[in-house]
Structure 1
Amino acid sequence: MRLIQVSDCHLHADPAARSRTGNPYRQWCRVLDEVARYQPDMLLVTGDISQDDSQASYVLAERELARLECPWYWLPGNHDVPALMQQFQAPTTRVDLGSVDMLLLNTQVIGEAHGKLGPERLAALDAELSRSQRAPLLAMHHPPLAVGSAWIDALGLVDAAEFWQVLAAHEPVEAIFCGHVHQAFDTRQALPRGEVPVHACPSTSDQFLPGSRAFAVDSEALPGFRIIDLPPSADNGAVSTRVVRVPLP
């Protein structure tokens, strides 16, 4: 099974609106054109669909997602309006991917750039992991660890320590996929029962400069998406993933 992740679209109501380095809507369309070539079985959007809190921005997002011949799911980022998202796609917290389940975690703190799960969401995650018969994938907007850019890390998941405490009490999850950082990032987090791979996805809009102490856009980096290939069964191989960059006309 092939899952494709896109993230941080930052769409405006006006399709002609520009970002710092380009046109978010045109890049969104271009990325999804390329995504379709890879024939995904499912698509995941890890937040920041909208930039201007407008219903029209979600109309543009949903219109292009509907072109794909596969189911799609999204979760909110710090820029999103969940009530507007729900008009197009009902929220879900678990998706059956055949060989593995995927848990969608909401890290949004309304009105803030940083993320937080909080006691209730952490308790729900703990309960889900306790019920799981197989190690799931996790999807979330804010990364649960530092990515090496000081200004981004200050806006990460503020209760990351509590998050990892929950995960440490269970068998390691298969992998964690997140957005928010507008760059490709791959690492592993060591836990008492094993390591957990953590992957971040490029934005379909502007890219942020890796390793920067202060806010900086990477004007040379192209938009992109992440391919996640799942094994046919839980006992037959591991999850593999790679990033694809999309040339712009």
Structure 2
Amino acid sequence: MMRLVQLTDCHLHADPKARSRAGFPLRQLESVVEAVRATRPDVVLVTGDISQDETAASYQHAHRVLSTLECPWFWLGGNHDQPGLMEEIRGFHDVIDLANWRLLTVDTWVRGQAHGELGETRLGQLAERLAEDERPTLLAMHHPPLAVGSAWIDEIGLKDRDALWEILSSFPQVRAILCGHIHQAFVGRQALEHGDVLVYGCPSTTDQFLPGSEGFAIDEASRPGYRIFDLRGEEWLTWVERVDL
């Protein structure tokens, strides 16, 4: 079995004591990572928005905390991030080997924009990587590639998602997509000719967004969390864990 843990949307500041709307992002990340360590993951992936203020110091805080994990960890950028600053601290990986599975990271970052987009170049690169290996595959990206039922979030999702699904229609090995951005547990599916592709959202390590809201709203009753994927053969089991602060 291979255990993958997803973290997302840490929204750290240069000031380690900075507040978010509902808590203290760095302190919450430390608590979530401590909980994740106890689950003994094989790999941890952080799916974007590591920073809130786009400072080098915020990424240094993240690197320090994530490096306490006793396993390899990887990150990708979200709309609040500065990928250049991230890469100076720790590089990106397009392909992550998960034994019987592969994990491909997909860059949806658009400079100065809240929404995500792949564009022809990145879509072409994804198709090339998928063509290299027929093992069961997970994709990971920051922006959700389908509507999640909150009008304001859906406005800033992945703009060229139809083009993504057209590419994926030729690659039946893609079983599921992990996304960040939405600050909530979520499961959706996209029907393709060869079967459904599942899309999983993940709680933030800091503030949670209220599901189904028309406008921006914090879910005051929810807690930070993370998502576990247990990969066994060609099957997987996934669930969300919440962390008491």
Assess same fold via TM > 0.5.
Answer: yes
Does 1:241 find its partner at 2:229? no
Q: 5+ residue gaps in structure 2?
A: none
Displacement of 1:90: 1.1
Percent identity over the alignment?
A: 55
The question of whether the paired residues in 1 share the 8 Å contact of 2:135 and 2:173 is answered with no
Displacement of 1:136: 1.0
> What is the TM-score with the length of structure 2 in the denominator?
0.98
Q: Distance in 2 between matches of 1:216 and 1:194?
A: 34
Q: Distance in 1 between matches of 2:54 and 2:41?
A: 28
Q: Distance in 2 between matches of 1:142 and 1:194?
A: 22
RMSD of the alignment, in Å? 0.8
Partner of 1:37: 38
Displacement of 1:91: 1.3
Does 1:85 find its partner at 2:78? no
Partner of 2:126: 125
> What is the TM-score with the length of structure 1 in the denominator?
0.96
Report which stretch shifted further, 129-138 or 111-120.
129-138
The question of whether the paired residues in 2 share the 8 Å contact of 1:172 and 1:196 is answered with no
Alignment of structure 1 residues 95-106 onto 2, 5 Å: 95-106=96-107
The question of whether the paired residues in 2 share the 8 Å contact of 1:172 and 1:193 is answered with no
Partner of 2:202: 201
Q: 5+ residue gaps in structure 1?
A: none
Q: Distance in 2 between matches of 1:62 and 1:131?
A: 31
Partner of 1:191: 192
Alignment of structure 1 residues 134-149 onto 2, 5 Å: 134-149=135-150
The question of whether the paired residues in 2 share the 8 Å contact of 1:172 and 1:194 is answered with no
Displacement of 1:21: 0.5
Q: Distance in 2 between matches of 1:138 and 1:58?
A: 23
Report which stretch shifted further, 82-91 or 99-108.
82-91
Partner of 1:18: 19
Q: Write 1 or 2 for the structure with the bigger share of strand.
A: 2
Displacement of 1:135: 2.7
Displacement of 1:170: 2.0
- Total equivalences in the alignment: 244
SS of 1:84 mapped into structure 2:
helix
